[in-house]
């Protein structure tokens, strides 16, 4: 579970997102970091029971600095106000699919897959879909997948208006091939965060997406 202290720290940081307040609350930030590490390591351990490709990961591979990169952002508030956990066999710096947990009051969610892969990786994924789209159709048609995630995420931001280059508009998997991101997402409630079963129940939901993660990584790692 996530402690009330951590959730309150994030709430207060959202209301006081400037350096002086942050510096004056270093003791609270230290408590946040300690729990961030504990929660992340607990997720790694729980997911690794069913996905051995994650067993080598450490906290540093799956966590994010609290400082935001504001160089190109209109929002100049300096600190992130959520706890984000990215668990992928390739770690944060490699372009492999994985699992994500977003802890933020009123805006929590879980997801898995790969978000906006670069052009070369996108070609690899589309090649995998082209050759084995029946596998992907079976994954998204699975009862638990549909119940929890209701298909792959799709909107006008991550979907081409026309068929991608080299693929016919009548391809049987054209709906998949037109995607630019390959993720599935489900919301987390604030009650989920404080549940004593938060880690195990959330990991169970994420592992429903393991076949999707495996499918995407098969395409990304096959020459």
Mean pLDDT by 10 residues, the chain (223 residues): 95 96 97 97 97 94 90 82 94 80 97 95 96 97 96 92 91 96 97 96 98 97 84
pTM: 0.94
Give CA 176 to chain center in angstroms. Answer: 19
Q: At what angle do helices 4-15 and 26-48 cross, to 10 degrees?
A: 120
Dist. CA 39–CA 200, nearest whole Å: 11
Residue 92 pLDDT: 57
Q: How crowded is the C-beta side of 52, counted as CA atoms within 13 Å? A: 0
Q: How many domains does the chain have?
A: 1
Q: pLDDT tens for residues 62-109?
A: 999 999 887 777 778 999 999 999 999 975 556 899 999 999 999 999
Domain range for 82: 4-221
H/E segment holding residue 204: helix 198-207
CATH number of the domain residue 48 falls in:
3.30.930
């Amino acid at each position: 579970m996530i402690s009330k202290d951590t959730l309150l720290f994030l709430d207060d940081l959202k209301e006081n997102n400037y350096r002086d307040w942050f510096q004056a609350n270093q003791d609270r930030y230290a408590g946040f970091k300690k729990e961030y590490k504990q929660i992340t390591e607990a997720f790694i351990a729980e997911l690794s029971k069913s996905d051995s490709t994650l067993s080598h990961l450490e906290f540093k591979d799956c966590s994010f600095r609290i400082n935001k990169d504001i160089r190109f952002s209109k929002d100049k508030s300096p600190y992130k106000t959520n706890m984000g956990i990215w668990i992928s066999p390739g770690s944060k710096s490699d372009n492999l699919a994985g699992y994500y947990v977003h802890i933020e009051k009123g805006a929590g969610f879980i997801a898995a897959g790969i978000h906006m892969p670069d052009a070369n990786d996108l070609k690899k994924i589309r090649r995998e879909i082209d050759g084995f789209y029946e596998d992907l159709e079976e994954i998204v048609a699975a009862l638990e997948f549909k119940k929890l995630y209701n298909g792959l995420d799709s909107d006008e931001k991550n979907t081409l208006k026309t068929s991608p280059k080299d693929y016919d508009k009548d391809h049987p998997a054209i709906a998949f091939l037109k995607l630019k991101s390959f993720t599935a997402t489900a919301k987390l409630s604030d009650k989920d965060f404080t549940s004593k079963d938060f880690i195990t129940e959330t990991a169970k939901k994420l592992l429903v997406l393991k076949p999707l993660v495996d499918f995407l990584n098969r395409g990304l790692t096959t020459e």
